[in-house]
Amino acid sequence: MEGCVFCMIVGGEIPSRKVYEDDRVYAFDDITPQAPIHVLIVPKEHHSDLADDVSVELMGRIFSSVPEIARIKGLDDAGYRVVVNNGEDAGQTVGHLHVHVLGGRRMSHGMVEFAGE
């Protein structure tokens, strides 16, 4: 997709710190980490969000890469949080479906912070 930051990262036009890659997904360190470990997993093909015609197969491939990425980052014993910000109210800022994997510190149990009007 023209002008899409994550398509450009997948295509190597924007540099990234690769964590994991297979034929369907690419994972890299978030540029503004919100935890000691913060990885983004993106499908290689462009889908704007969860509702954008994502096949069950691709959805499975995205999520089944999570434990492998956690293992690579050494998070598998301690645990980690997996987040998808989907759409405007959730604060999605990049319109290419992505899954956040966050870990390396203990997180609050509450996940939902109100951003105000």
Q: Report the site for ligand 5GP in 45-84 (rule: CB under 6 A).
A: none
* Inter-CA distances, 94 with 74, 88, 99, Å: 27, 10, 11
Instruction: Say how far apart CA 114 and CA 36 lie, in whole Å.
Output: 23
Give the interface segment with ligand 5GP, choosing from 42-50, 61-69, 91-99, 105-113 (CB under 6 A).
91-99
Judge whether 98 counts as a catalytic residue.
yes
| Member of 2, 3, 23, 32 binding ligand 5GP (CB under 6 A) | 32
Amino acid at 87: G
Least gap, CB of 22 to ligand 5GP (angstroms): 18
Both structure tokens of 27: 């994972």
**Residue 60 carries which DSSP code?**
H
Six token digits for residue 81: 């949080």
Binding footprint of Zn ion on the chain (CB under 5 A) = 1, 4, 6-7, 46, 96
Q: What whole-number distance in Å separates Cα of residue 55 and Cα of residue 58? A: 5
- Residue 73 interacts, among Zn ion, ligand 5GP, none and using kind-specific CB cut-offs from 5 to 8 Å, with none
By CB under 6 A, the count of residues binding ligand 5GP is 14
- Name the residues annotated as catalytic: 98
